[in-house]
Amino acid sequence: MKKLTIYFPTGIAYFFILLFCYASISKIFDFENFQVQIGQSPLLSAYAGFVSYAVIIIELLIVLALIFTNTKRLGLYASLGIMVAFTVYIFLILNYSEFIPCSCGGILEKMGWIEHLIFNIVCILLAMVAIIILEKEKERRLAHYISLMISVIIVNIGIVTYLFFSSEQIIKKENNFTRRFLMHPTLEKKQLQLSDSYYYFAGYDDKNIYLGNRKFPQTLLTLDTALAGKRVTNISLDNIKHPFRNIKLQVKAPYYYIYDGTVPVIFRGRLGNPKSKTISFNEAYFNQLIVLDSLRFAIRTQSSKTKQFVLADLNLNSAGEKLTLYSDILQKQIDGVFDIDGNFITDGFRSQLIYTYTYRNQFIVMDKDLKVQNQMNTIDTVRIAKIESKRLADGIHKMSAPPLKVNLRSAVHKNLLFNQSDLMGKHESKKTWQEASIVDVYKTDENEYIGSMYLFKKDSHGVSDFIVTDKYLYVIIDNKIIQHQFTKPITKYFISGEAENRSKE
Specify the CATH number for the domain of residue 366.
2.120.10.30
What is the pLDDT confidence band of residue 175, given thresholds at 50, 70 and 90?
Answer: low
**Whether residue 169 sits in one domain with residue 198:** no
Is 119 inside any structural domain? Answer: yes
**Whether residue 377 sits in one domain with residue 309:** yes
Last residue of a domain, which of 173, 207, 240? Answer: 173
Is 499 inside any structural domain? Answer: no
**Whether residue 193 sits in one domain with residue 141:** no
Across 245-249, 300-304, 308-312, 368-372, least confident range: 300-304
Indicate the residue type of 449: Y
Asked if residues 230 and 241 have their Cβ atoms less than 8 Å apart, the reply is no
Is 179 inside any structural domain? Answer: no
Which pLDDT does position 338 carry in this prediction?
A: 84
**Whether residue 198 sits in one domain with residue 163:** no
Is 239 inside any structural domain? Answer: yes
**Whether residue 150 sits in one domain with residue 13:** yes
Query: For the whole model, what pTM was predicted?
Result: 0.73
Longest dimension (CA), the chain: 104
On the 0-12 / 13-18 / 19+ scale of CB atoms within 10 A, 141 is exposed
Is 420 inside any structural domain? Answer: yes
**Whether residue 190 sits in one domain with residue 149:** no
Last residue of a domain, which of 126, 146, 173? Answer: 173
Interatomic CA distance for residues 253 and 13, integer angstroms:
73
Q: Region 364-375: what's the mean pLDDT? A: 94
Interatomic CA distance for residues 158 and 144, integer angstroms:
21
Is 409 inside any structural domain? Answer: yes
Pairing type for strands 472-477 and 397-401 reads unpaired
**Whether residue 107 sits in one domain with residue 201:** no
- Select the more confidently predicted residue: 387 or 192: 192
Map residue 202 onto helix, strand or coil. strand
**Whether residue 425 sits in one domain with residue 354:** yes
Nearest Cα residue to 330 out of 304, 348, 357, 361:
357
Alpha-carbon distance values, 408 to 338, 361, 392 (Å): 14, 11, 27
Which pLDDT does position 290 carry in this prediction?
A: 96
Q: Quick: pLDDT tens for 178-222.
A: 788 888 899 999 999 999 999 999 999 999 999 999 999 999 999
**Whether residue 157 sits in one domain with residue 191:** no
**Whether residue 329 sits in one domain with residue 472:** yes
- Select the more confidently predicted residue: 495 or 279: 279
| CA-CA-CA-CA torsion sign (417, 422, 428, 429) | positive
Q: Give residue 17's domain range.
A: 2-173
Last residue of a domain, which of 146, 173, 200? Answer: 173
Interatomic CA distance for residues 494 and 324, integer angstroms:
32
Is 500 inside any structural domain? Answer: no
Q: Region 150-172: what's the mean pLDDT? A: 80
Is 501 inside any structural domain? Answer: no
Q: Quick: pLDDT tens for 117-149.
A: 899 999 999 999 999 988 887 777 788 888 999
**Whether residue 264 sits in one domain with residue 409:** yes
**Whether residue 103 sits in one domain with residue 217:** no
| CA-CA-CA-CA torsion sign (141, 144, 148, 154) | positive
Domain count, the chain: 2
